[in-house]
A and B are shown apart, each in its own frame.
Chain A
């Protein structure tokens, strides 16, 4: 047999294969579409899984379609294709031996035709149109699926805004501050990564910022509006600035999200503090025989003191209206170092010229080591006083009474006793009354003698007063005996050395001096023609009055003695504070009288009776307006942040934490709708404001209450 007459199995197989391939070609686009869908939905897992599944499905379907091809289909196709087969192709597909009669004849005829070269092609034609349509639709679907699927980064971005250099907004990735304190403080440099910092005044702060993406420009913006650009260095942005006072700052870069305000708190250099270590009191009296004096000062500072300080020594001498003040300054070195120094200043009193009745005032002026301008502080001043007044026996405080005894009655006591005696006049007998008056007179005399001794008057027969201390009362320097040596008048006896110096030196050119030098002096009050009243000392007047009081008391007339005794007391008191009485020498100048208006009752043009109290130096009006504006009520005034910010900056020094208010204002300005920021601003305003309390009004009665109150009356 010829090869064309292959057994029908092979023909069938060929036909089936063709059908299978045809089906696969038809179904392949569906597989692709399913695969694309799976990839979109589930990624590569979906791609493989769904593709496999679809492929299996399609091949299964193809196999079934191929399996449906049977021999009769084959024969029919062959009959249709080859008219030479005369519609008997089924004979070809059967075994030749089984054919009989007409069939075998026909078979032989067919074989002969086949042997002549007839081609038998059992395979069905490709379903071209269907394949084309299927592939076309499949590709369209795939394209659609791939085009419309989510583009979350799996695909390459194609749309970029023109001109954008980077697709990401630059964010601050890292921020580093380097704080370099001024050299004089001696503090070390430090670095930190927090944006808020506490720095000493005058420190230089260097910022190093790194962004996630490169911005075109970056600025460092301060709360007061100043803005400095950051300079780029490789991938870091640097800027340095010397910070003088507390402020808020933030970093602004083009395209970056708004940064929050950060605080830079400045700790100012505190001025040095000076304390007095010795003596403890600021005013001390010179001891008797004191020749040196050493006040000790100590100063502390936060960063360091200058090594040398200036000592200001002032000598104030003189009495009354004639005080001469001499001041000099000298540099002194202290002990200790750095933050705490001590100065002990030995002073020689004689060299300074401390005479009785003068004050020596010492003050230390200390400076710290701040650059460029040091802070200068004048410490407390300490006074050493050489007293000149005699010690009055009235028990004065503050004046150290050296050896002056107080065992005799004071002038005040005499007055009190005289008053008591006056009161008891009725109850006492005449004898007892005059005895007591006499006793009082003796006391007054004794007092007069005592005080008179200081003026150099002779004792007039009275018993010397009892004293308990030795040496005894100073030797009297009468006119007979020449002026004694200085040791009679020692530092603590409290009298006026100036006067006695006059006596001692025997200045003859004054009337008093001559009289004292060459004669006795009896001071009788009114008849003292030798003395002009202008120059009499207060004490002399006191003695006059004492003599008058004694005279009256001796005559048992205490009522008449009282005025004299009071005068004496007054004069003694004045003498006690003699160097500190300042009297007005000229009268006050008043406006001239307007006689036409006087006593007419017209009040026109007169200033209001009450003085206008100046308002508070700091007006809080803007802050109050902002406080009321933040109340969140209907009818609240609008919030004016600019005025509030100006007020806050002007009054920064008055608040404990000025940056808190500034930060709150900045937060509200940045996000006006943020209610939390507004609450913070309100809280800051509450802490910053003061108001004077007003009077509470009482609530009224409702109509029935009013009726009741009316009916009560």
Chain B
């Protein structure tokens, strides 16, 4: 930028000087030989103009003073109250260094460097440079001693959007805190879960978001004496989202289907149950034609082995093609499978090696979902186990196919374990159903008030809405390239809604004091990287004293030259206009 300014100014000055010189010489050429002044005057004027132009340029852009030998000690966040300075150092405190005393205050690093232009190297004292100081090309050498690891949360994984009523987990790692307790509190302030932690240990806490909507849980790290080391708000986004549409194709009426429908009604899932009672009689909801358009409206199809046989090859092909396009397919085993079923399902990746069919009884279903499998699941090697011993799934193009070998999960509901029944089916539906459309963007890193928030994955224009009603349009940063990131600068903490088209996403901006340890670690890592890779000072020849002095020097020189120009132009050494006769007679006669 400054280079461009230099060039522009230089261009203008050169142009003006050339015009002036040209005007001078043209006038001289055009004038009568007698009206021309002496040649030395014109020459002197040209030289003076050229040198005045040069002096003007040098006044505006004095050549960079070389290193003055001054080293700046920059105190940033985490700097102590009093800093020991080496000789030749000057202490500058940035706004984050609140505790440092007796330092010159500068709003940021660039200002400090501009105020002390001869500085070639700086020493950073504290946790590390803030993001605003790290960006931009500073041509100074950075010396940085990273501080010890902070005590609080050095790594944190916050949960993504979940459905209401489901569990979530928050995990992370602790820094150098010797021992302590990490707690999770619900929005009412009650303790949900806690864990003991040691230095460097990873923890994981689980909570349940009981209600739909947005809520803030609180993660608290305490030392053994009970003092709070760090407090972080865990934002949970359980905003209502469209529930999956499930189609159950049953080969016979059974209690299993009845309880499945009951669970779906309670959970708000749109479930259509079609029971084939044999002989052409169909019970339940009106039949859905197994066409691609109808199946694309469904997110999951659960089909019996008996129904699998009866829908014929066209039906099966339609189901599989819909699964390729993203729908989920759940195969349920309700009896000894016939050869055709076994062959068909083996082609999909589920090799049922036990011809006796479902070998599990209601006894087993009561013990779900403990992870020890009671009987080995006779399923092919590529299947991913979903529920130990009873269900597995494989991906199928963009969709997923799962197999469930239990046919009496309703026993869970009958024996008073309705919640387990719901969890079982919730897991099945959640894993296999069609994926929901992608959110409009995702948050890179964490969001804090007063810092830049990076939102990536933006398609087109995106709007961020604040609780007060203010809307901010997010500009895409072309430098991010494929990531398509944009920046947003929140001023106050709170929930924000990002809207792109008709999709929306909620994210939470934490208060400025949140993520203290994490930000410190990030700052120190980045500063260390900068320190190891920063270029030396750009080579300007050492020419003497400070820039200010040189500025005045050039200005004085410019003034002198301009004065000389002005004086020379005003006095006319040109010969007075005389006729030739007068000039001839003047020689002879005096007077």
Contact = CB atoms under 8 A, between A and B. Distances in A.
A568 to B, nearest CB: 34
Given A693-B426, A710-B398, A701 B243 contact: no
A610 B433 contact: no
A633 B235 CA distance: 13
Interface string B409-445: 0000000000000100010011101011110000000
A609 B285 contact: yes
A682 B398 contact: no
A157 interface: no
B435 A700 contact: yes
A634 B166 contact: no
B466 A695 contact: no
Contacts of A690: 210
B211 A686 contact: yes
B437 A693 contact: no
B505 to A, nearest CB: 12
A684 B186 CA distance: 12
A339 B213 CA distance: 50
Interface residues of A, number: 37
A682 B218 CA distance: 14
A692 interface: yes
A609 B160 CA distance: 38
B188 A686 contact: yes
Contacts of B266: 613, 692
B495 A692 contact: no
Interface string A72-95: 000000000000000000000000
A699 B163 CA distance: 12
A694 B209 CA distance: 11
B470 to A, nearest CB: 9
Contacts, number: 136
B265 interface: yes
A699 B436 contact: yes
A698 B267 CA distance: 16
A673 interface: no
A484 interface: no
Interface in A628-645: 628, 631-636
Nearest to B285: A609
Among B214, B437, B466, residue most surrounded by chain A Cβ atoms (within 10 Å)? B214
A633 B467 contact: yes
A610 to B, nearest CB: 6
A674 to B, nearest CB: 16
Nearest to B283: A609
A700 B433 contact: no
Nearest to B162: A696
B265 A613 contact: yes
B381 to A, nearest CB: 16
B433 A695 contact: yes
Interface size class of B (residues with CB under 8 A): 35 or more
A3 interface: no
Given A634-B467, A634-B469, A682-B187, A694 B267 contact: yes
Contacts of A696: 162-163, 166, 426, 430
A698 B436 contact: yes
B268 interface: yes
Contact of B262 (A613, A697, A702): A613
Nearest to B457: A702
B342 interface: no
A1 interface: no
Interface in B324-339: 324, 326
A697 B163 contact: yes
Contacts of B267: 692-695
Contacts of A689: 210-211
Given A697-B244, A706-B398, A691 B435 contact: no
Contacts of A627: 211, 213
B495 A632 contact: yes
A262 B539 CA distance: 76
A609 B284 contact: yes
A698 to B, nearest CB: 5
Contact of B436 (A610, A682, A697): A697
A469 interface: no
Nearest to A634: B465
A490 interface: no
B18 to A, nearest CB: 57
Interface string A558-571: 00000000000000
Contacts of B273: 609-610
A706 B435 CA distance: 11
A632 B422 CA distance: 32
Given A634-B497, A693-B267, A628 B213 contact: yes
Nearest to B471: A634
A690 B285 CA distance: 30
Contacts of A709: 395, 397-398
Nearest to A683: B188
B497 A635 contact: yes
Contacts of A713: 324, 396-397
Contacts of A687: 188, 190
A160 interface: no
A408 interface: no
B243 A695 contact: yes
A710 B214 CA distance: 35
27 contacts: A609-B285, A610-B261, A610-B284, A631-B213, A631-B214, A631-B215, A632-B494, A633-B214, A633-B506, A634-B469, A634-B495, A635-B465, A683-B189, A686-B210, A687-B188, A691-B212, A693-B163, A695-B243, A695-B269, A695-B433, A696-B162, A696-B166, A698-B431, A698-B436, A699-B438, A712-B397, A713-B397
Given A631-B495, A634-B467, A698-B430, 8 more contacts: A624-B211, A627-B213, A632-B467, A693-B267, A693-B422, A694-B240, A694-B267, A695-B163
Interface of B: 160, 162-166, 186-190, 210-215, 240-241, 243-244, 261-262, 265-269, 273, 283-285, 324, 326, 395-398, 422, 426, 429-431, 433, 435-438, 465-467, 469, 471, 494-497, 506
Which A-B residue pairs are the 10 nearest by beta carbons? A693-B165, A700-B435, A634-B465, A683-B188, A633-B495, A696-B430, A697-B436, A696-B163, A686-B188, A713-B397
Interface of A: 608-610, 613, 624, 627-628, 631-636, 682-684, 686-687, 689-702, 706, 709-710, 712-713
